[in-house]
Amino acid sequence: MSDAAQPTAAEVRAAAEAVKTALDRHLAAVERRSGEDDPAVYDAFNQLAAAAEAYDELLYDRYDEVTPFEVPAADDSLPPYDGPEEPSALSVLIRRDYVVAEPQRLMAQARRVEAADDEGEGVAASGTVHGALGLLFGEFEPEEIASRHKEFGLEEGDSTLWVTASDEPAEPGEWLEAPFEQVDPQRVVCRFDVSAVFDDEFDDDLEDEEEELDTDLDGDVDGDLDTDEDGETERPEVDRRGP
């Protein structure tokens, strides 16, 4: 970053003061909290996170230094529930991502649908991936495609399901043009996420534990047992006391 684009020392100082103010507000909100999910505490937390992030960026840009703490992002979890205690209506929002892993398999399945359709229009929509997707999702329910995705040449990606509460049901056709635009996170009753990221983190933890175990047994990562001068296998002494 050029010197001209760097923040001034005064701007960094002002950002530090903003963090101090946000800290005081957060502590005051915590001291006055009315319950476990007090929205005032949540708002104060977000303000503190934003102030700390701004200060950290300015500090780095000006002095090439960082703060010794990390505030978790507000997007990591949903805000406290602020919907009706006894919802009279609910909405279920679902998103599933797929990769078209085998286009030929996808189009072959679409051709089967066309062949079974006695009212075919004569134009083979199954000849393109776009047309095949339209045919299959028009023929099968999303839940069936989710359970049979491999048959359709699809590979699962991330998915999420949100259940949101409402005071009253929406008017017919009210939200069809933009179905996901007006979701209020504070009215989400529950959500369920599925992602390969979670599997990767779990696998990494397992690999670390296995590597530590191999090292404890033998001192070698490869896990081979040592032998004595006579060629006999030496069994390592394993500490079973736990941490």
> What are 25-80's pLDDT values in tens digits?
999 999 998 877 788 888 888 889 889 989 998 998 999 998 887 655 444 456 78
Over range 177-195, report the average pLDDT. Answer: 86
Q: Cα(first)–Cα(last) distance of the chain, in Å?
A: 47
Strand order in the sheet with 89-100: 89-100, 154-166, 188-194
The residue with greater pLDDT, 97 or 224, is 97
Q: Strand 89-100 relative to strand 154-166: parallel, antiparallel, unpaired?
A: antiparallel
pTM for the model: 0.50
CB atoms within 10 A of CB 168: 9
Supply the pLDDT for residue 221.
42
Supply the angle between the helices 39-63 and 9-31 in degrees, to the nearest 10: 160
Domain residue ranges in the chain: 3-76, 89-194, 195-243
Checking if the pLDDT of 100 tops 90, the result is yes
> What are 116-164's pLDDT values in tens digits?
876 555 456 788 999 999 999 999 999 999 999 999 999 999 999 999 9
Cα–Cα distance measured from residue 240 to residue 175, given in angstroms and rounded to the nearest whole number? 61
Supply the pLDDT for residue 223.
43
Over range 79-84, report the average pLDDT. Answer: 82
Checking if the pLDDT of 225 tops 50, the result is no
> What are 198-219's pLDDT values in tens digits?
765 555 556 666 665 555 555 5
